[in-house]
Amino acid sequence: MNTEISNDSKAAADSNGNSYTPNRILITGGAGFVASNFILFLMKKYPHYQITCLDRLDPCSNTKNLSEVEFNPNFTFVRGDICSKDLVMHILKSQNIDVIFHAAAQSCVDQSFTDPMEFTRSNVLGTQVLLECSKSLEGQIKRFIHVSTDECYRGVPLDSDDRCREDCLLEPTNIYSSSKAAAEQFVTAYNFSFKIPTIITRSNNVIGRHQYLEKIIPKFSELLSRGLPCPVHGNGLNRRSFIHVDDVCNAFDLILHKGSIGEIYNIGTDSEISNLDTLKLLIQIFREYYPECLDARKSDDNYINFVRDRPYNDLRYRIDSSKLKKLGWNMKYASLHDMIKSTVDWYIKNKNYWENAEQALQAHPSEK
C-alpha cells in the first residue's frame, strides 16, 4: 500500500462555519467493518481526498476489506495502535492530517464482560491519545469525528414509544457501552476545554459487507449456510434496530461535510426486530434464496438453539434521528428484509473470507 501523500490542497469552510471540505483524513480502525466501508465510499465519491488508515489488525479487522484501494496513490495504510501517542503524532504531522475520523474500538459485548480492561484501554485511553495529539497540533485538526453507539443510552421498555434524543442522559449497562460513553465524555471535555472541533455520532446496529462473524447477522448467516442451528441468547425477545452500512456511510458523509462542531448526531432507523424474529427472517431468506443450505425435511425450529443470556442484555434501544434528517439524510434501505437479504448475499458470495473465525461462531465468543 502507498506510503506517500501528495501536496496539500486547501480546505474550505463556508460563511456559517459548518460546511467543511476535508483534505487529508485519518481513519482509525479503517480495516474494520464500518470504517472500511466508509473508506471505499470516500475514495469513490471523492477520489482527490488523501486518506490514511490506522489499524492494529485485530481479528475483527481484515486487510481484504481494503483490497479495492490498497494501490490507490491517495491511500496509505499504517498498522499500529491508537494508544501509541508517538505513532499517532508522527502520522498527524507527516501526513498533515486535517480530519480525524475515529472509528477504532473494541465492540464485542460478550468479550467486554471477560476482558473489560482492554475495552478501557482501547476505547477510552485510545480516544484520549487522539484528542491529546489533536490538542498538541494547535488548530491543525479541523474536524474530529467520534463514532459511538446507541448503546450509550438507557434501554427503552418494550411497551414504550419513547425515543432517545442526542441530549438524553447516558446510562450504559455493559462494559462495552460504558467504555464508549466514557470516551464520549473525553471528546466533549476536549471540545469545551481545548476547543477541539469534535462531532459525535451514535448509530443503531449496523449490518452489511465486511462485518466480523461475532455479530448476529453474519454469525447466523454463516451458521445457516452450513446447515447448523443458531444460538439465541435468553428468550430471544430483546429487540434491536438495524441499519445498513451504506446508509451509515451516507450519514457520515453528510456529517463530515455539513455537521456542526460540538454536535451529536443519532443515526437510526425504525427497522426494529427481536433477535428471535431476526433468526426466523434469516431462515425464511435462506429457504427462499439458498434452499440448498437447509434441510427441507427439518422444521425452522431445528435451526433455533436457545442458550443462556449475557450477564445483562438491554431489551431495546430507540433513537430519534430527526437532527440528522434536517441536514438532508435519507435512507436507501427502507426495508429490513432488503438490507438483511443483501447482507446474506455478500456472505454467501464471500465464503472463507475470515481466517481462524470459528471461535466467533460460538454462542458466547469470549469463552474458550
Look at residue 17 in the predicted model and tell me its pLDDT: 52
Look at residue 367 in the predicted model and tell me its pLDDT: 66
Taking the C-alpha atoms of residue 240 and residue 204, their distance in angstroms, rounded to an integer, is: 8
Enzyme catalytic residues: 150-151, 176
DSSP state of 121: I
**What H or E segment, with its residue span, contains residue 169?**
none
- Contacts of residue 99, defined as CB under 8 A and 6 or more positions apart, other chains included, come to 22, 23, 24, 25, 26, 141, 142, 143, 144, 145, 256
How many other C-beta atoms lie within 10 A of the C-beta of residue 349? 9
Taking the C-alpha atoms of residue 199 and residue 5, their distance in angstroms, rounded to an integer, is: 26
Burial of 6: CB neighbours in 10 Å, binned 0-12, 13-18, 19+: exposed
Amino acid symbol at 240: R
128's grid cell: 484520549
Taking the C-alpha atoms of residue 209 and residue 67, their distance in angstroms, rounded to an integer, is: 13
Look at residue 1 in the predicted model and tell me its pLDDT: 42
Taking the C-alpha atoms of residue 100 and residue 89, their distance in angstroms, rounded to an integer, is: 12
DSSP states of 271-295: -EEEHHHHHHHHHHHHHHH-GGGS-
Amino acid symbol at 308: R
Question: What is the phi/psi pair of residue 294, to 5°?
Answer: -110, 150
Query: pLDDT per residue over 311-349, tens digit each?
Result: 888 888 999 999 999 999 999 988 999 999 999 999 999
Q: How many helices (H) and strands (E) does the chain have?
A: 11, 12
The CA distances from residue 306 to 109, 232, 234, 238, in Å, are: 18, 5, 6, 13
pTM of the model: 0.93
Question: What is the phi/psi pair of residue 14, to 5°?
Answer: -80, 180
> Taking the domain 24-208+242-267, which CATH number applies?
3.40.50.720
CATH class of 216-238+272-316+334-361: alpha beta
Question: What is the phi/psi pair of residue 341, to 5°?
Answer: -60, -45
* For the chain, percent of residues with pLDDT exceeding 90: 83
Taking the C-alpha atoms of residue 75 and residue 117, their distance in angstroms, rounded to an integer, is: 33
Contact yes or no for 53/78 (Cβ under 8 A): yes
The domain segmentation of the chain, as residue ranges, is: 24-208+242-267, 216-238+272-316+334-361
How many other C-beta atoms lie within 10 A of the C-beta of residue 95? 19
**What's the alpha-carbon Rg for the chain, to the nearest Å?**
20
Under-50 pLDDT residues of the chain: 1-16
DSSP state of 220: H
3-state helix, strand, coil in the chain (%, to 5): 40, 15, 45
Q: Are strands 50-55 and 24-28 parallel, antiparallel or unpaired?
A: parallel
Amino acid symbol at 85: K
